[in-house]
Structure 1
């Protein structure tokens, strides 16, 4: 098997996709509108004025429960064949029908209500699918969406492939919700229900702005060139000592949010100490799938090339206890792998939605969950780890729990969080500050806070 094919196969998650399956209901506001339409007394302009004032989705508590009716809306008429909600990255044959909005007859109101636990958070987009296919040309799918399309179709039964293709074809029309209260970026809106974990970056206010340098860095070890951002806050270390360091993988994603004002604000408020943050881009998808899969040359690049280079002209710590590496998905796998194989440099690791199923058995002679096995056998464990995973991450949840159990059995120091969400940058954005605080906030404390549906927060000394 050619090396590039083998690498790709080992980074395809095992198992079929499983889309989000919330209970569908009808929210009180839409129920009232449906009744008013039936009785001929509907004030549609007034309804849309209220929606504009409240923002979307409409969130209405369901009495005496921990549930909310979450109503997504779109305004349109006969020019639309369908309106599809995209609030989950997984896809299966039922995705299109399960996420299809209904139109109140005779109105311009399209609606879809989920019954969700009140701590849910998700990014989402809405696809208005034109009735006349020639009326609007859909944009091309983003790179990751196109890859997920190919992967989903490859896994699917032949009879299911047309339905899955229809889902991804609709995704090409997806746009942010124009009335959303929150935005993630130019493509995605965010819904955060009332009991969703608080976001430190929202409460921190504004901090004195630091400096951000953007560099092009060529690695002799890896033989490629990538963009690297270095953020240095305005506030200096209190003792005049060297800078603590945060290395953040998939740096282009975080630079685009952007993460720098968040770090400035958290440092200004004292939630985290002053530290230099180094954001490392992934170059492109093929490079990412190779380098962020327990790839020793990539860890060597970070340790032997990137950090020494970043130290030129600024005094960065060489103490692993004050050096954090953080990543998400394959980056989360790599963050923990770096803390395992280069513990002399990375003493702290944040892994959000880590791909601990890796490698996929189809490309690795049946092997899977390699890092969990390595940690079970290791002579030395990572110094401190912060793990988080969403309860809707069907392929990641159980592998992450098994890795957690392995760390616990070995007596490792770690934090573990399960949140009510999916494989989602909105959840990672909310959780990253918590991870940094946990790994810079002093000694470990043991605590477990139930969060429902098997979710929990645990800290082990």
Structure 2
């Protein structure tokens, strides 16, 4: 008989040895254990305090011929390289990775995968790629009720023991809550109308000192996937930041987002000539750019840096979570991202402060994600800007951004 490779996972290796010894009954207690504890299977490594072995599992029937892992630390491309292995002729499929203990990420599995590259958009979620049925921990991207074809998307969570705490994302019973209102704002500049959510802090008053202002893109995501109102409630209550008003404009749909957020001059005009004047008219917010933040994630982080460059007299702080600084060019304006960085190089130092962060596992989003964020950081520091920079062990993922948003706010406007 051909010798079988010993699995990296001690638990799977033990199971393999039992099956080779004709102990078919060993599978039942294994699956019972997995059902009770959930997946992935996480095991310590002898003499290694900084890593664990993490084994992704799938229980396959006779009609399963492959299973592919997506997300996590392997990214979203090259499915042929990320296939699970079947244990002998059993119904167990597995793949083991040695991962650093501070990892937080999400992942999906694809049984009977076609081994082709993923489509753009969310069409593969819930059809080709599925959440892990053996993992009870899920992160839900709730559907947008105003988009008729939208739907909830569930992804599976992996958090290792030393993943950074996220103490600000959960409502606390003894913390007063702010108020969220929804408005609709028409733009003559962009020729469209969007929802704008406004958060006002507990005890909001229109007659006291004007409030600090936080404008963050992808407004629906920054209420749901990132619970910004709850984060603000908790930070304000703890005295970490001053009371502030948050303005959360909607991105409407993917096509609009792809057009407006990547360095789009008319979008900056919309913010400075329409949205911000509207906010000042209806809410008691500061006009001091030192107390005003523009922020977002992915394309939203890219947009925040561009808005800061173009409108530092309005926004004095830029908060970028995994900004897409690999971006090539705006098809209308032909402004390359490299030119954007060069504008920062060529222009006098502006009255701006930055919080930049990126995930060490941001694979399959863009090959330049980490290096481009580091590049922008280095350029800004050389120009003399105040830059708070962070790298987290996770992916291009709201499950990470929801925890680190508080870090960015504290870094930029935190109270001493």
Q: TM-score range by the shorter chain?
A: 0.7 to 0.9
Task: Please give the secondary structure, in 2, of the residue aligned with 1:318.
Answer: coil
Please give the alpha-carbon distance, in whole angstroms, between the structure 2 residues aligned to 1:188 and 1:349: 29
Q: Distance in 1 between matches of 2:259 and 2:79?
A: 32
Aligned residues: 386
Deviation at 1:390, TM superposition (A): 2.0
Give how far 1:209 is off: 2.9
Matching of residue 27 in structure 1 with residue 4 in structure 2: no
8 Å contact kept, 1:250–1:327: yes
Cα RMSD, aligned residues only: 3.0
- Contact 2:169/2:230, CA 8 A, preserved across alignment: no
User: 1-side partners of 2:210 and 2:262: how far apart?
Assistant: 31
Aligned to 1:226: 194
Find the aligned partners of 1:267 and 1:126 in 2 and give their Cα distance: 39
Q: What is the deviation of 1:247?
A: 1.0
Q: 2:99 aligns with which of 116, 133, 158?
A: 116
State the distance in 2 between where 1:201 and 1:338 align. Answer: 27
Q: Aligned match of 1:346 in 312, 315, 327?
A: 315
Q: Deviation string for 1:223-276 (max 9, x for gaps)?
A: 111122112232548x94222111111122223325133332333333333222
1:196 aligned onto 2:163: yes
2:241 to 272, 277, 287: 272
SS at match of 1:198: coil
- Helix, strand or coil at the partner of 1:144: coil
| CA deviation after TM superposition for structure 1 residue 173, in Å | 2.1
Structure 1's 258 and 349: CA in aligned 2 closer, same or farther, altered over 3 A? closer
Contact 1:214 1:228 in 2 (8 A): yes
Distance in 1 (CA, whole Å) between partners of 2:243 and 2:136 is: 31
Q: How does 1:82-101 map to 2 (within 5 A)?
A: 82-87=66-71, 90-92=75-77, 95-101=78-84
Distance 2:338 2:97 in 1: 34
- Structure 1 residues 373 and 318, CA, compared in 2 at 3 Å: closer, same or farther? same
Helix, strand or coil for the counterpart of 2:80? helix
Question: Which of 14, 39, 54 lines up with 1:70 in the alignment?
Answer: 54
Distance 1:231 1:365, change over 3 A: closer
* Contact persistence 1:356–1:372 (CA under 8 A): no
Alpha carbons 1:57, 1:73 under 8 Å: kept: yes
The equivalences for 1:4-43 within 5 A come to 26-39=8-21, 40=23, 42-43=25-26
Contact 1:235 1:274 survives alignment (8 Å): no
CA contact (8 A) 1:70 1:116 kept: yes
| Residue in structure 2 matching 1:422, options 395, 398, 402 | 395
In structure 2, the residue corresponding to 1:184 is in which secondary structure?
strand
Correspondence for 1:128: 111
Task: Identify unmatched segments of 5+ residues in structure 1.
Answer: 1-23, 132-140, 147-167, 444-461
Q: Is the 8 A contact 1:358 1:370 kept in 2?
A: no
Q: Is the 8 A contact 1:123 1:190 kept in 2?
A: yes
Corresponding position: 1:246 with 2:219:
no
Shift of 1:350: 0.7
- Which stretch has the larger CA shift, 397-406 or 27-36? 27-36
The residue number in structure 1 matching 2:296 is 327
Q: How does 1:147-166 map to 2 (within 5 A)?
A: none
Displacement, 1:61? 2.3
- Determine the structure 1 residue equivalent to 2:135: 180
Q: Distance in 1 between matches of 2:280 and 2:373?
A: 34
Note the C-alpha offset of 1:221: 1.4
Aligned in 2, Cα 1:205/1:129: closer, same or farther, shift over 3 Å? Answer: farther
- The normalised TM-score by structure 1 is 0.75
Contact 1:68 1:115 in 2 (8 A): yes
Q: Quick one: structure 1 residues 183 and 323, their matched pair in 2 at CA, closer, same or farther if it must change by over 3 Å?
A: farther
Please give the alpha-carbon distance, in whole angstroms, between the structure 1 residues aligned to 2:326 and 2:192. 27
Aligned equivalents of 2:396, 2:28: Cα separation in 1: 37
Contact 1:340–1:382 under 8 Å retained in 2: no
- SS of residue in 2 equivalent to 1:188: strand
- Residue 254 of structure 1 aligns to a residue in which SS? coil
Cross-structure match for 2:149 = none
Q: Judging by fraction of residues, say which structure has more helix.
A: 1
